[in-house]
């Protein structure tokens, strides 16, 4: 009788845990995670820090195991930025295409790290690179997500003069993501640069209009406007602290949410 009672308690607790997890999942069933290329550098001055890459992959795996549908856009600033090319006298269009190739290098590295963790992934490119990635097709991307695959969108929008922030906003809207999670080195949005101004205070929530009027740089204006007009919230948080991504999806107050 005691053994039966213990088994019943165990099953009941497992059911409660399952239900609590599903409540968490339902809050953000489908997310788009935006990562900066610079964050992949870790403590390095250039390139990719394998320890940081592995940390990101493990955090993403935690969400994937809970059933969250995950799409990812990653920048290329740790390798090359189109703006740098323009400053050096190179044609901006040419430089932007070089930057798109840099995002593909980072995307492939993240794909390899995720697959090392046992996660099935698909890399889609806005520029045709059939030997290494699928072409971007919205319906195919959504189908991959529905099947539990992590989808990485590389090469930005495929057009010059558009940042990876714009690509993240566009892809998130196209795949009907519930939220954009922007992983940075800072734990949210502040009234000023917290590294330069010790009196800067952090926002827990802020509207798109207030962020714009105060000149807070959440994303570039194209990306910011896309999110505002399509009622797509953005959460800015510190991705470099392991566990933050899981806490955020479980409903804990992490980072700053920008909303209408």
Q: What are 22-74's pLDDT values in tens digits?
A: 444 447 899 999 999 988 988 888 899 999 999 999 999 999 998 999 999 99
DSSP 8-state code for residue 239:
T
Block residue for tokens 């999942």: 25
CATH of residue 114 = 3.40.1160.10
Both tokens assigned to 87: 């400053």
Does 3 map to a domain? no
Give residue 25's pLDDT.
Answer: 44
Identify whether 17 is part of a domain.
no
Residue 251 pLDDT exceeds 50:
yes
Instruction: Name the band, by pLDDT with cuts 50, 70 and 90, for residue 90.
Output: confident
Q: Is residue 10 part of a domain?
A: no
Q: Is 139 among the domain residues? A: yes
Distance CA 84, CA 76 (A): 12
- Mean pLDDT, range 167-193, rounded to an integer: 94
Residue 169, domain member (yes or no): yes
Assigned domain for 2 exists: no
- Specify if 11 maps to a domain: no
Say what the pLDDT of residue 82 is. 67
Structure tokens at 150: 């992590």
Q: Containing domain of residue 240, as a range?
A: 28-259
How confident is the model over 100-136, as pLDDT tens digits? 999 999 999 999 999 999 999 999 999 999 999 999 9
Crossing angle, helix 50-65 and helix 92-116, to 10 degrees?
Answer: 60
Predicted TM-score of the model (pTM)? 0.87
- Is the residue at 210 inside a domain? yes
Which region among 11-20, 81-90, 137-146, 223-232 has the lowest average model confidence (pLDDT)?
11-20
* Number of domains making up the chain: 1
For residue 62, report the phi and psi dihedrals to the nearest 5 degrees. Answer: -60, -45
At 13 the pLDDT is 57
């Amino acid at each position: 009788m005691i053994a039966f009672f213990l088994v019943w308690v165990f099953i009941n607790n497992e059911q409660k845990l399952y239900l609590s997890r599903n409540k968490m999942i339902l809050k953000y069933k489908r997310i788009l995670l935006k990562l900066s290329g610079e964050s992949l550098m870790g403590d390095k001055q250039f390139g990719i820090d394998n320890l940081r890459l592995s940390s990101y992959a493990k955090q993403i795996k935690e969400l994937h195991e809970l059933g969250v549908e995950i799409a990812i856009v990653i920048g290329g600033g740790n390798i090359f930025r189109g703006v740098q090319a323009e400053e050096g006298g190179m044609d901006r269009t040419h430089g932007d295409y070089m930057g798109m190739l840099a995002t593909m290098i980072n995307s492939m590295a993240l794909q390899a790290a995720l697959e090392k963790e046992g996660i099935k992934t698909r890399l889609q490119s806005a520029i045709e690179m059939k030997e290494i990635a699928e072409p971007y097709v919205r319906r195919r991307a959504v189908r991959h997500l529905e099947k539990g695959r992590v989808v990485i969108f590389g090469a930005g929008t495929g057009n010059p003069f558009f940042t990876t922030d714009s690509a993240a906003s566009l892809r998130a809207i196209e795949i009907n993501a519930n939220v954009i999670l922007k992983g940075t080195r800072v734990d949210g949005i502040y009234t000023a640069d917290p590294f330069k101004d010790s009196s800067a205070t952090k926002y827990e929530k802020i509207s798109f209009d207030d962020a714009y009027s105060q000149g807070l740089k959440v994303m570039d204006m194209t990306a910011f406007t896309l999110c505002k007009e399509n009622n797509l919230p953005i959460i800015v948080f510190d991705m470099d602290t392991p566990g933050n991504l899981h806490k955020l999806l479980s409903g804990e107050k992490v980072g700053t949410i920008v909303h209408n």
